[in-house]
Chain A
């Protein structure tokens, strides 16, 4: 669908309609991106972004797992630290 010429008023000085066409174009692009795993192929990340990004299914999954892992590590650290610290003795 040729959204650039969707509105006959585009280019005729009717800026609000051009904005409407642009909004529709972005909405369609968003729907296209959110199509599912088969859409992951359109993204070409390199390095660490290949595994941790917020666009591909794998990237999103790894980010979620990394967040949960970090929270678990923080909780474990504070638990072990409280066990190591000896109880304060009354003087």
Chain B
């Protein structure tokens, strides 16, 4: 177990140069592209998966919303692949950095909101007041709805950061505990190891679910504004 529990969250450097850019760009190498009509199995599988996800996600949108299809598919692929690669031992996960997640959440949310204000100004402004609100509650509810709108990108970023960071920390802690218990009690070590295996399986699921949730929420914000 590392003496510093948070060592794996420090942005990696090599000879004083930051490696973050390379790490962020690396997942794109894992998705091959092809200019052939009939592709090999790997690319066909990739295309099938992309088609499945994009059909499911973009079906609720109108024509305007569907122009964001490429953006949303890139987003889910990037976050999913980054999260899954981060489960490799001793690897760095960019999505544990709040700065990175805010950098994704704020522009996407702002783009959706600005699109809504440009195309449907009346409806976007009216959205701040729920229909049927009693008159005395109107000012308070407008303020509450405004705050909840501005909380959306922060919640989006913090949700992803917290989930991935917490999972990695737990794996780190339970892995360290397993190692420490090896010389003490074999039965307890075995139980802890089984818990570690189950936790790792859970983290695989969380990695993919968080990518889906992030993209789905951006898609919903877009749907509300188009």
Contacts and interface: CB of A to CB of B under 8 A. Distances in A.
Interface of A: 33-34, 37, 54-55, 57-58, 60-61, 63-65, 67-68, 70-71
A67 B139 contact: yes
A34 B125 contact: no
A60 B126 contact: yes
Interface stretch (B16-24, B128-136, B183-191): B128-136
Contacts of A34: 131
A63 B138 contact: yes
A64 B123 CA distance: 11
Contacts of A58: 122, 126
Q: Which residue of A57, A58, A60, A65 has the most chain B CB atoms within 10 A of its CB atom? A: A60
A54 B137 CA distance: 10
Interface in B98-142: 122-123, 125-126, 128-135, 138-139, 142
A31 to B, nearest CB: 11
Given A67-B138, A67-B143, A54 B129 contact: yes
A54 B138 contact: yes
A34 B128 CA distance: 14
13 contacts: A54-B131, A54-B133, A54-B135, A55-B132, A58-B126, A60-B126, A60-B131, A61-B122, A61-B126, A63-B129, A63-B142, A64-B128, A64-B129
Nearest to A33: B131
A60 B129 contact: yes
A42 B87 CA distance: 57
| Top 3 closest pairs, chain A to chain B, by CB | A60-B126, A54-B133, A67-B142
Contacts of A64: 125-126, 128-129, 142
Given A55-B131, A58-B122, A60-B131, 16 more contacts: A33-B131, A34-B131, A37-B122, A54-B129, A54-B130, A54-B134, A54-B135, A57-B122, A63-B138, A64-B125, A64-B128, A65-B125, A67-B139, A67-B143, A68-B142, A70-B139
Contacts of B132: 33, 54-55
Nearest to B128: A64
Contacts of A63: 129, 138, 142
